[in-house]
Structure 1
Amino acid sequence: MMGAIIKAIDGFNKVLGIVLALLLMVMSVVVFYQVFSRFVLDESLRWSEELARYIMIWSVFIGSALALRKMELIAVDAIKEVLSEKYKNILVIFIYTLSIVFLLVLVNYGFQLAGSVMGQTSPAMRISMAWAYAAIPIGSIFMIINIIAVILERALKLKGGSPV
């Protein structure tokens, strides 16, 4: 059962990885075209910097979720290095459980924040600011999903089973 959940989350992450790649590609094209437009065509695109900023915000949250799953976020491992494998897994489960609590707070306040700016529009693109702020709760949900996969893998290791 836990293995199936982990596989489903990893499948979801493949889709997130594709979305992230597309976002970064679009951002690169927009920034390149802005530079080309400004220095070669001698005219500036008003919306390009704003779009690049919003894509970057979404990319950070999606990328953080993917990095969480791969355990590639920056961490101080001094305590973990002196622990046995069993206690390392227990510590990771404890830390990630605390992280879920923090991320649930981010989800809650993120949705409140996105709701409160729904009536505001961005200066250049004239889209609702809720689109930019929605990255906070949605990205936090993605991170929670990936933390669940990490916790399940560590729990399987503690039980002596194979993580997938």
Structure 2
Amino acid sequence: MMRAIIKSIDGLNKVLGVLLAVLLMVMSAVVFYQVFSRFVLDESLRWSEELARYIMIWAVFIGSALAIRKMELISVDAIKELMPEKAIKVLNILVYLASIVFLAVLVQYGFEMVSNVSTQTSPAMRIPMAWAYAAIPVGSIFMIINCIAIVIENIMNFKGGEQT
């Protein structure tokens, strides 16, 4: 049962990885076209910087969710080096549970923020600002899902005696 949950979360992460790659390609193309347009065609695009900024916001939140799952976020391990192995496993579980609580608060306030800006539009593209701000709660939900996968794996490893 738990392995099936982890497998489905990893499947979701593959989709997120493809989405992230597409976002970064589009952002690069938009920025390249803006530079080309400004210096070769001698005309500036009003919407390109804004679109690149919103894509970057989404990319950061999606990339953070993937980095959580791959355990590639920056961490300070000085305390862990002084602890016994079982205590490290318990600490890992507690850290990710605390992260879930923080991210749940971020989801709640993120949706409130989306609601507050739902009537505003972006200056250049005239799209609802809710699209840009929605990256906060949506990305946080993906981060929570990946934290849950790590907690499940750590609990399974703790019970099985495997090293994390």
Q: Is the pair's TM-score, using the shorter chain for normalization, greater than 0.5?
A: yes
Alpha-carbon distance between aligned partners in 1 of 2:133 and 2:94, rounded to the nearest angstrom: 29
| TM-aligned CA deviation for residue 162 of structure 1 | 6.8
1:128 and 1:85 map into 2 onto residues whose CA distance is 50
Say what the alpha-carbon RMSD is for the aligned residues. Answer: 1.2
CA displacement 1:115-136 (0-9 Å, x = unmatched): 1100000000000000000000
Q: Report the Cα distance in structure 1 between the residues aligned to 2:96 and 2:162, rounded to whole angstroms.
A: 20
3-state SS, counterpart of residue 79 of structure 2: helix
Provide the secondary structure at the position in 2 that maps to 1:4. Answer: helix
Q: Name the aligned partner's letter for residue 83 of structure 1.
A: M
Provide the residue aligned with 1:154 in structure 2.
154
Partner residue in 2 for 1:99: 99
What amino acid does structure 2 have at the position aligned with 1:65? A
Could you tell me how far apart the structure 2 residues matched to 1:35 and 1:15 are? 30
Aligned length: 163
Shift of 1:161: 6.6
C-alpha displacement of 1:14: 0.2
Alignment correspondent of 1:52: 52
TM-score (norm 2): 0.97
Note the 1:13-162 alignment, pairs <5 A: 13-160=13-160
2-structure distance, mates of 1:121, 1:81: 50
Unaligned 5+ residue runs, structure 2?
none
Code of the residue aligned with 1:102 in structure 2: it is F
How far off its partner does 1:83 sit? 2.2
- What whole-Å deviation, never above 9, does each CA across 1:36-70 have from its counterpart, x for those lacking one? 00000000110000000000000000000000001
1:17 alignment partner AA: G
Letter in 1 for 2:135: A
1:33 deviates by 0.3
Cα distance in 2 between the residues matched to 1:162 and 1:93: 14
Letter aligned with residue 4 of structure 1: A
Give 1:141 deviation, angstroms. Answer: 0.2
CA displacement, residues 69-103 of structure 1 (integer Å, 9 cap, x when unaligned): 01110111011122233221110110110111111
Q: TM-score normalized by structure 1?
A: 0.97
SS of match in other structure, 1:78: coil
* TM superposition shift of 1:145: 0.2
Match of 1:9 in 2: 9
Structure 1 portions without partners, runs of 5+:
none
